[in-house]
Structure 1
């Protein structure tokens, strides 16, 4: 069984990693006491006074008591009354663990009084800070080393370029690479691109399928999923434009009377995928695809800041426009 401290403060502005830390702690605790053994406080139940009352109350549970408190970034120092500080400092380390969770930003921070109370009781401060994009390749190299594999600078840069800027997703891909190649492996740019690009690019083809098929809802969902996974808008629009141009090229060659065999000689993709692209291009037609390519070219400019709208708003509007024909 893990050795539990009486208190934890899991905080920082990398919300993905703060959330993952919280989830891992909860999952580990559930193995020990079951889901019913976790007390989860949020909203009105997670004010400083309410938390003090909860921690002071007797429980009938058997085994260690786990309490997870969300939203402490909204607490003000003046609200953290001496009563709560005293309750935290009086936690019995042998029977109770409380985890305070703070999703911080420039305006919202865990209160200093709570930080001091957690330190005083012998707890742990776990801070997850977001990294700037330029620092992610260095972090990826370091994390790869911790997992037993080696990335050179170019390979680390390729990983970030293909996967995006969310460290949680980068870490998942590094873990996959470590499992696939084994401890001590030295991975090149080609190794990384071969492992991680197929999945991301296949997802972009899913977005293309929805656009070419006139499925507005499916296209918006695919776009939002890719963005949520950390795909940057400039890279995503570039991939999308490339794939849409391929669809337009196929449509034009079909109109010119070329058959599948002729197209297959120059369009490099698996046979099953080519058959699907040919069917989609034939159904959509040259005119609709040319219009879509033109609109997405304008979206590329918007992704670089050439728009007064939020870039994601611009993207969703573009998706709506190019799927409105159906």
Structure 2
């Protein structure tokens, strides 16, 4: 059974990580005390006054009582001092309260809240987004926490492949830790071979649709990537790299090489190479070159030139590429 502190405060501007921590704590709390032992205070009900009343109320529940509170970033200092601080000072010994605050801009937790949580014997954890230039060092530290070691170039490669989302980086590190085992030391080549970029995998499907002139799938794949937060500026080089791979194979086949010769010298899994070869045999190398030129133009246009949005420019470019193949 878990050892619980009286109070927790998880705050910061890494909203995704905060959501993960909240979900994890709720799952552990329900596993220990059941749904009846968990109370969630959120939305308009999440006020210092309501929280203070809830923490001070008597309960007839058996076992530990858990109170999860969202929205502490909206509270005022005076209200926290008047209602939450006294409640934390007199918290029942079988109660655990967890405050979650998704900070952004001016929305910050009042200084009285972390002070009161610590005074009650609780933990305060800040989940802050890491600046892009600091991500490789952060990746190294997280890898060490998971029991593996990444050289700095390996950490830089991971950030380049996966992007700057810390949750994604953590998932890739967890996969590497499971695959390689405790104590593994990874260099850049190891990460290049092992770390799969989920966005890149989806881009493969988008490029497959481009080569097949399947406009409907092209647009759907692009919009799905955008909905999950992928930037157009990041998708363009991913698409270009995948198109160049198909073009390189198409050029070799046009020059007289056999598929077996291509497979013998090209990198990648046999399944992926078979697919690239099939695509290359069914397309025109000149059309692929035109598609790459269109991507290069799109990259320039999305740097603030013109009045159209990035999405409009990208959809128009994808439509031309799909028609050109």
- TM-score over 0.5 for the pair: yes
TM-score w.r.t. the length of structure 1 is 0.81
Q: Distance in 1 between matches of 2:290 and 2:44?
A: 51
Q: Distance in 2 between matches of 1:317 and 1:80?
A: 53
Corresponding residue number in structure 1 for 2:55 = 55
Corresponding residue number in structure 2 for 1:80 = 80
Unaligned 5+ segments in structure 2 are: none
Distance of aligned partners of 1:172 and 1:272 in 2 relative to their CA distance in 1, 3 Å threshold = closer
Unaligned 5+ segments in structure 1 are: none
Distance of aligned partners of 1:311 and 1:18 in 2 relative to their CA distance in 1, 3 Å threshold = farther
Q: Displacement of 1:143 after TM fit?
A: 2.2
Q: Displacement of 1:281 after TM fit?
A: 6.6
The answer to whether 1:220 aligns with 2:223 is yes
Distance of aligned partners of 1:189 and 1:233 in 2 relative to their CA distance in 1, 3 Å threshold = farther
Q: Displacement of 1:31 after TM fit?
A: 1.8
Quick check: 1:66–1:97 contact (8 Å CA) kept in 2?
A: yes
TM-score w.r.t. the length of structure 2 is 0.81
Quick check: 1:207–1:222 contact (8 Å CA) kept in 2?
A: no
Distance of aligned partners of 1:159 and 1:253 in 2 relative to their CA distance in 1, 3 Å threshold = closer
Corresponding residue number in structure 2 for 1:128 = 127
Distance of aligned partners of 1:74 and 1:226 in 2 relative to their CA distance in 1, 3 Å threshold = closer
Matched residue SS, 2:157: helix
The answer to whether 1:2 aligns with 2:10 is no
Q: Distance in 1 between matches of 2:52 and 2:180?
A: 49
**CA-atom RMSD, angstroms?**
3.5
Quick check: 2:36–2:61 contact (8 Å CA) kept in 1?
A: no
Corresponding residue number in structure 2 for 1:118 = 117
Matched residue SS, 1:293: helix
Quick check: 2:74–2:108 contact (8 Å CA) kept in 1?
A: yes
Corresponding residue number in structure 1 for 2:44 = 44
Report the count of equivalent residues: 320
Matched residue SS, 2:106: coil
Q: Distance in 1 between matches of 2:37 and 2:227?
A: 36
Quick check: 1:162–1:200 contact (8 Å CA) kept in 2?
A: no
Corresponding residue number in structure 2 for 1:33 = 33
Quick check: 1:206–1:222 contact (8 Å CA) kept in 2?
A: no
The C-alpha deviation readout for 1:166-207, integer Å capped at 9, x for no partner, is 222222222222222222222111111111047654332023
Q: Displacement of 1:259 after TM fit?
A: 9.3
The C-alpha deviation readout for 1:121-163, integer Å capped at 9, x for no partner, is 2221111121111111112222222222222111111111112
Q: Displacement of 1:311 after TM fit?
A: 5.0
Quick check: 1:11–1:18 contact (8 Å CA) kept in 2?
A: yes
Worse-matched range after superposition: 203-212 or 150-159: 203-212
Q: Distance in 2 between matches of 1:258 and 1:198?
A: 33
Quick check: 1:18–1:128 contact (8 Å CA) kept in 2?
A: yes
